[in-house]
Amino acid sequence: MSQPAGPVQGDGAVTLPPLEPLAAPARWWQRGPRSNPLSTAIRWALLLAFAVIFLYPFLWSVSSALKTRNDFFVHNTRLIPPHFEWSNFVHIFTGVPDIAAGVPFGHWFLNSMYIGVLAAGTVTISSALVAFAFAYFQFPLRNALFACVLGSMMLPSAVTMIATYLIWNKVHLTGTQYPLWLSNVFGSAFYIFLLRQFFLGIPRELFEAARMDGDNYWTMFWRIAFPLARPALIVTFVFEFKASWTDLMKPLIYLNHDSQFTIPRGLFNLIGTLGPNAGGHGDYEIVMAGLVLATLPMIVIFFFGQRYFMEGIATQGRKG
């Protein structure tokens, strides 16, 4: 005879016991360290191996920046220098003793900083405006125009390089820093796609309520869409700042004087100055010191913005 599922009340109803919530199964990376020692050891070994692979180039750069000229060529594979030459980080600012003139690394750093901020800021705002228009407004040929925007990503930059140079030369801006960031006011196809996907995930009722309150489209964008899209905007800003900070092609094409150089363009010029063919003695450890200093800002930016950065990437994965 079957047992009742619970105590029977006076009216004949059966009271069922409360259901216990089912715990989600632990993922392989969430399991306790004592559950399977072998799998834990294998997991840590793989993580350490990949960490060494990804960190080795940076560690080699730091090691090379702390070596003497002779150790740079003789012990170039050793990560721990025989002698630590801290003066390399001073020579990148004051100049190599074999060269009379100093190295304007500090000026290159400021140029890269403000050009990167302008490039990232302009492309973030302009791309957000275009993305909001594609996400919110209903107009003829909207999908066709958006397909054309996405199709422009298929064009390699080398295809438009000559035409772009001719345009800047026509307006007499070659030899200046304007081509390095001013073209970003027209937005970027990749960032427009990224931000549009985010704007599509914002409930349309928020905008309709704002319209009923009498807000115009600019207010809706600035007070609703822009704040809610902060993670995606930060991702866009960091991506473009990194692209501008490490860009060498545009400075090579448009910049001619040391006072205009960014860090990549200045270090490229410094390699030619320190090389044996230019009368130098191959003080490439000085260049490595400059490379290490140039890497630090991106590490700091990612360290402080990684929460927004990861949130924006995860949100795009859910909305895509």
| 302-to-57, 241, 253, 305 alpha-carbon distances in Å | 18, 11, 29, 5
235's tokens? 């991702």
* pLDDT per position as a tens digit, 268-296: 888 877 665 545 556 788 889 999 999 99
Alpha-carbon distance 172 to 180, whole Å? 14
Short-list 61, 127, 43, 1, CA closest to 290: 61
* pLDDT per position as a tens digit, 159-202: 889 999 999 999 999 999 999 999 899 989 999 999 998 898 88
- Whole-structure pTM value: 0.78
Short-list 285, 298, 299, 295, CA closest to 89: 285
Tell me how far apart the 2 most distant CA atoms of the chain are, in Å: 104
Output the average pLDDT for the chain: 82
SS3 120: helix
pLDDT, position 271: 82
Name 188's Cβ contacts closer than 8 Å, sequence gap at least 6: 123, 127, 240
| 244-to-249, 250, 298 alpha-carbon distances in Å | 10, 9, 11
